[in-house]
Structure 1
Amino acid sequence: MGKGMIKKLFTAKIAVAAILAALGVAGYQSDELEWVRDGVSLVEKAGASGLDSLLPEKTGFRREGGQNGAEAVSEAPSGGNGRAESAWKSLFDDGKSRSDGGRNDKRQVPSKRSYTGRVTSVADGDTLRVTDSDGQKHKIRLAYIDAPEIQQAYGEAARDSLRDMADGKTVAVTVFERDRYRREVAKVEVDGKDLNLAQLRRGAAWHYTSYAAKKQDGSDYAGYAAAMKKAHAGRVGLWKKTDPQEPWNFRKQQREQQENSGKKNRDSGMEWLRLW
């Protein structure tokens, strides 16, 4: 690899690292930044001979003067590397779908709606991973409930509650849709026992009524609401605390803190530039 190519590759990686840092300060989640990392991987795979071929002008795209001096992008016959052209288009098509957090298809129902598998890990009180009977891996968000975040009071206890019921077990999964992070939103059962409902009964989660009211089956909604009400009345689990913070408010608070921190960093940066 020539020195010029090494310099280009190094510069590209530095630029992407800076973009990731800026987006992180702005409050984007790790799952929402995967498309940027894919871009880095694509550049690395291109190597010395393919790096230039990934640029738009090498893949047959050109800018043309348009009406009133405006520019339009048109596709010309490609005389370059067809594989690189395909990779370039793939990167930006994929980036478009990922950069908005999957909002264009965030409610798209997965092709495989029901399956059985084994729980391989439990991340928190409403998120787990399952490997199905075909060996396919799934990240699942339990539908219609919202457990405390790990950093919150009772967050670890909520995770341990789900882990106790599910970890290593064979489960039946009914998928309703995908969320913005491409997790499957689903009901998970062990031997016919609804784990989503069980978490409410154990006082390990809230019934996510703002969402469930629009989506959940009526009889299931009533059962989930009653389970949370009973746990609350009996001061079970997280309800032992007089006024536990809802996880959606906790997440909002965290985002606001990140935004304020990012604003302070930007203000400091501008002040530093003014000194020069």
Structure 2
Amino acid sequence: EKELTGKVSRVIDGDTIELLAKTSKENPYNHIAKLKIILYGIDAPELKQAYGKEAKEYLSALVLKQEVGLIIENKDKYDRFVGTLFLKGQDINKEMVKNGYAHAYESFSKKYLAEQADAKMFK
């Protein structure tokens, strides 16, 4: 596991962001990498699917232009980072599931199943 911090420069859809990551603690603004991040353990609808735009808008409202923390879990088959996004200590991946904008991605993680059950119960 590796931790990064940076600013969310773009929200691509309900489970993908672009992060301007600070890659050096000594001189954080000297080394910035633009990374595509897939949110770990969740699956949001694609933009063309039902509620895809709403999922993107909700994620944008939470994190766009915000300084965030990221715990990298792994990389996907396309070599993109997969991680858990935090804003002021709040697990953003969990918020997406809890509020019904994404599903727990059960084939990769059991992490957000309780939040998914709550979201279904409260519709």
TM-score by length of 2: 0.90
Structure with the bigger percentage of helix: 1
Unaligned runs of 5+ in 1: 1-108, 214-220, 236-276
> Over aligned residues, Cα RMSD in angstroms?
1.1
Identity of aligned residues (%): 33
CA shift for structure 1 position 118 = 0.3
1:229 maps onto 2:117 in alignment: yes
Structure with more relative contact order (C-alpha pairs < 8 Å, separation 6 or more) = 2
Q: 1:26 maps to what in 2? A: none
Deviation, structure 1 residue 117: 0.2
Unaligned runs of 5+ in 2: 23-30
Deviation of 1:226 (Å): 1.2
Structure 2 counterpart of 1:192 = 89
2 CA distance for matches of 1:145 and 1:132? Answer: 21
CA offsets 1:192-219 (integer angstroms, 9 cap, x no match): 0100000011100000112114xxxxxx
Q: Deviations over 1:250-270 (max 9, x none)?
A: xxxxxxxxxxxxxxxxxxxxx
Measured in 2, the distance between the counterparts of 1:178 and 1:137 equals 15
The count of residues paired between Structure 1 and Structure 2 equals 115
The CA distance in 2 between the partners of 1:142 and 1:179, in whole Å, is: 11
The aligned residue for residue 176 of structure 1 is 73
Which structure carries more strand by proportion? 2
Give the TM-score, by structure 1 length.
0.41
1:115 shift after superposition? 1.1
Runs of 4+ with >4 A deviation: none
**Residue equivalent to 2:64:** 167
Between Structure 1 and Structure 2, whose CA radius of gyration is higher?
A: 1
Measured in 2, the distance between the counterparts of 1:189 and 1:174 equals 8
Structure 1 residues 1-276: aligned runs within 5 Å: 113-133=2-22, 134-213=31-110, 221=111, 224-235=112-123
